[in-house]
Structure 1
Amino acid sequence: MALGRRLSLRGLCVLLLGTVVGGQVLELRLKDGAHRCEGRVEVKHQGEWGTVDDGSWSWKDASVACRQLGCGVAVGIPQEAYFGPGVGPIWLSYTSCEGVESTVSDCRHSNIKDYRNDSYIHDWDAGVVCSGFVRLAGGDGPCSGRVEVYSGEAWIPVSDGNFTLPTAQVICAELGCGKAVSVQGHELFRESDGQVWAEEFRCEGEEPELRVCPRVPYPGGTCHHSGAAQLVCSAYSEVRLMTNGSSQCEGQVEMNISGRWRALCASHWTLANANVVCRQLGCGVAISTPGGPHLAEGGDQISTARFHCSGAESFLWSCPVTVLGGPDYFHGNTASVICSGNQTQVLPQCDHFVSEPAGSAASEESAPYCSDSRQLRLVDGGSPCAGRVEILDQGSWGTICDDGWDLDDARVVCRQLGCGEALNATGSAHFGAGSGPIWLDDLNCTGNESQVWTCPSPGWGQHDCRHKEDAGVICSEFLALRMVSEDQQCAGWLEVFYNGTWGSVCRSPMDDVTVSIICSQLGCGDSGSVNTSVGLREGSRPRWVDLIQCRKTDTSLWQCPSGPWKYSSCSPKEEAYISCAGSRPKSCPTAAPCTDREKLQLRGGDSECSGRVEVWHSGSWGTVCDDSWSLAEAEVVCQQLGCGQALEAVPAATFGPGNGSIWLDGVRCGGRESSLWDCAAEPWGQSDCKHEEDAGVRCSGVRTTLPTTTAGTRTTSNSLPGIFSLPGVLCLILGALLFLVIIILVTQLLRWRAERRALSSYEDALAEAVYEELDYRLTQKEGLGSPDQRTDVPAENYDDAEEVPVPGTPPAFQGSEEEVPPEKDDGVRSSQTGSCLNFSREAADPGEGEESLWLLQGKKGDTGYDDAELSALGTSPVTFS
């Protein structure tokens, strides 16, 4: 019916015959919004306020309305009487603005009359959300950041020169952000900032909005500044200690929250929180936080906000705060503080260097108060209640070594930070390696100490560790948020991690502010909706929290009030399914399409190639159970990641337990699969394990990059992962040496065979030549006149004839006692120096004597005889003296 009404002939006629009220400017206002610049659009005619039908209401119309009201620009045009149906007449059925007009009266519009008699109803009243005249930009949310005002054309920063606290209070109130808790400056203007607001605001603090505050132009239209004004607003604005109706330096802790004084619940109230309150009130330092009944009456007067102070903050609201899942309050369980009352009072100082002996820890009630400047925090865990343990001392943040680190130590940390109970004591730099000093090692807490540095230890700063051994904790108040969907990013079932388990969130009564904060926190845009048309979700899980109602001042879901944590806070059909503006089809953790390698990672190890095995499935990272986990499965993981060979299959959450789902159990690989996805396993998500059974691996190499051909497709040629590791290098060296030895042996074998053939070919000729020469010389009566000549009496420089064995000769010859004349100095023996047979001789036949070598020379065809010897053998005439 509504669609037909909008396309009726009457509507077309109005479009063609629209008129402008001559000389009359329609008075405009916005009703039933959170502030003056949002709400239902109403115009005043003949002294009576009426509404505007949203049948043709557009962004251009909304922009003109915001401009006319001095409310900046339009940021939303909710329809169907979003701000509630109006009463009285419906004055306008149609508007048609170009977007540049100064007032709605300047736009084309329908005749002004009451259209209720023409079948128009208030269920279609138009609404608008304007940005306002002032905004806070660049902060953690709409209630903190740089102060900017709208000129009608652009947002212009306000100088911090003469920017006062009363002005800040007006701005926070106008934005619905509570009260100003911090006014800062010195954010330098960017060079691209072409303008600075040329006026100084001089609010008194009671004005309803900034634009009505008195203004003073800067001399010459410019301002002298050191930076842009920075403002932090908060629902938490004041704190006091009440005893018998009067504010003193001890008593029940009360805070002004969004304009109402409320007592704080004692849940997780710590001495560090109390110390901040005492300092903030000028009451010295906290002495104790006594329990017992106090004055608060009525549950609506109690705040369940839980603060997580380190003890050194200037204001209680500067500490991290969690409100979600606040505990049920019972009478008498309010927070209280006893302060020293004198800021200059000297209190017993902590001994920074001497630990209490084991077993001597006194109870917190009987121990004297110890004033300590140290601070404690948890880092890189995504929450104040999980992360690497760090202590501030002597101006430096340092860590704790994981030697001896256990749940007793973690309990002290969690209690000291007001983070509930310890769920896990992590080691091996589970939350990343820290920097700076390592303050404590071999800690041995009993679990009852009030401060972790009072636990027994070898001494402050005494350790033998490196930062890869930094200790961490996960406390029960650790919170994490995610969406679970098979095929969508930024849309799915909303789940929160609490008390060590993922559970769903109940959707009642989630409004636009709550959904906007959830989507922003997940990086999925700044708006969304609750989908109530999805079917019932399969499986069982905790339904942790219900009745979430976020405020504009909240910057994360953890700061939003809600019902208390319960395992079954609502029925299964009330689980929340959120669709954010930034939702898109799911691809994989990094890019689309996903490769198997991109869906596998190692976490918590000391290198890229060691750690807890995590796999990507259904839009989230999860772990693998160590049931049947062996070196074969580890080998597949290492090869898939390009990390070389598997050195160890690590069970029992050695690299720390994961926090997500346990996606795989009973994985069985042969060891040669190219991907863990090719191995047999139980169905996805079906496991009877706990995170204490998470599987891990240690691989030999450093991760290498696999070449790709197309997006997400691996090439068939494998690089050799891990080949440049130490074992790979040793194998290469040993292989090369073995190859060289084989080459040398083969070469020598070939040469030996060649020598044997050469010896055989010369054997007969050599033997005949020797016999002939001996016979000839022995028959001569006179020598040759040379040292080779034989006589009956040996002359000087003559040697006895030596036996000349020849390979292959008969044994009779080898045993001959006939003598052979020695050679000249420049004969065969001198030529042996260049011979390569010195090595071959022993290799060829170790039994042969050295004398056989002079028979052969290194040059091919050389018989080992000189010219004179050849003449003696009959190759040329012989002359006798």
Structure 2
Amino acid sequence: NYVVGYPHVPAEPTFSSYSNSVIIGIQEMACRIELQLVGGDTACSGRVEVQYGKTWETVCDSNLDFNAASVICNELGCGQAVTTVGAAHFGEGHDLIWKEEFQCVGNESLLQKCPWMSHPNETCSHANDVSVLCSGYGRYRLANGSTGCSGRVELRHGGAWGTLCDSQWDLQAAHTLCQHLDCGFALSTPAGQLFGTGDGPVWNGTIGCERNKSRLRDCPVTALGATECPPGSEANVVCSGCPGGRLVNGTECSGRVEIRHGDTWGSLCDSHWDLQDANVLCHQLNCGYAESIQGGARFGEGSGTVWSDAFHCEGTESCLWNCSHRALGNPACSPRNTTSVICSGANELRLVNGSSPCAGRVEVKHQDQWGTVCDDYWDMTAAGVVCKQLGCGVVLSSHFNGHFGQGSGQIWLDNTVCGGNESALWECDHNRWGNHNCDHIEDVGVSCSGYGGYRLANGSTGCSGRVELRHGGAWGTLCDSQWDLQAAHALCQQLDCGFALSTPAGKLFGTGDGPVWNGTTGCERNKSRLRDCPVTALGATECPPGSEANVVCS
């Protein structure tokens, strides 16, 4: 500071007597470092060149690491650094070679804000010029829409804003953009010039958004470059426009609840949150309905603010912030007491053309359209995921070649490979939605054992009540026509409720309001779990009043 502020600093001071930090201060005051990437395939890849004063200089590969590359990509509006490449990957420079080593942390906004250390005696040739490859994009925005959540898609690439051509634009990428902009989910991707054409460059490229990408910055962007885009081929999107609520640290439709006040996102305390509120949030996120809410930081505690808003939703609201609510600020709510939601998911699954709800052709509902699944790589493990997801017990057989008849319309999934632990079929590895090389003769089918789980309803304890069975995705009462003490004993053991004391007849535990399932439950004396007992001919039926299956366990 003394040297910079001294009124008689010589025109060409000698720096050898000052510490390196003083040199950095004088350089930063005097000149700005400009930078560019040269020789690459796009504006966001190439040989690193810096200009300090009037001359462009290349940088030696030993003087620039990945942290510095991250700063360069960010400064140029080129997204994230992918890698650094030495040995003049994009050709050798011809001018001077930068003699300083950049010592960036990685979060600096400009390269000139990084400290650097001089290596005056270093020997480095243009054969060692370093290059950087960035992910290729910086930020997204919507232009010319009637709201901040609709418009023409613009992308910042190589320091310039331009329109995205729709040649590789689809609803999945649009959905992820809406989430990225905190605008809910994508309602449509209208074609044409609904939102104008823009006056900047037009960027083209493949934006590969998979089902588990909840932020557009996580979607790979390849082969991006300026191109001629046919008139009317600009990428457009209309988002649902519900801001301020999201699920994190889980899947697209499950996770810790976060809400936003101003520019601050924070976890939501579980003290004023119920299933009705969660239903609205799931609907807002295009994730169906709320299956459960869970406290105790099921999806992690988070590290930021904890909000304690009290929502009072009727259940018909389209957005969480349309509900009546009170903002209680940031009280003493522990991160361990934040709430989580598991939604049913935007996609649906069913079996059709079979003899029961647990057998038939596999169909998936995606983007509000039912479609089939191709048999490429299909096996019993994938079929088992279907049975489990539908609450249909275990898989008995898997069927090919349109066994349950050929479907029509979309073929949604192909090359489906499951590990067996997935909770939904679309969580398995597969091609992108709708990407296949199949005909409907290859539609798969599944036959399941026919039941999914048991529970006791309306009892005074958790170990007594009316027997309910989950079958075909629905909970219903079990008719007692095939119910006996042996089966009751197996159920008590399965529920960790000891053994069966009695199977009282009548309406002791009510009648329920769901379907009534009937079938033969053949439990032998060596069956210790009801799920091990064969269930046959299960179907919805008329059950005489007072014929519900009941049990009292020890």
Establish whether TM, by shorter chain, passes 0.5: no
TM-score, normalised to structure 2's length?
A: 0.40
Higher relative contact order structure (alpha carbons within 8 Å, sequence separation ≥ 6):
2
Higher normalized helix content (fraction of residues)? 1
Q: Which is greater in Rg?
A: 1
Higher normalized strand content (fraction of residues)? 2
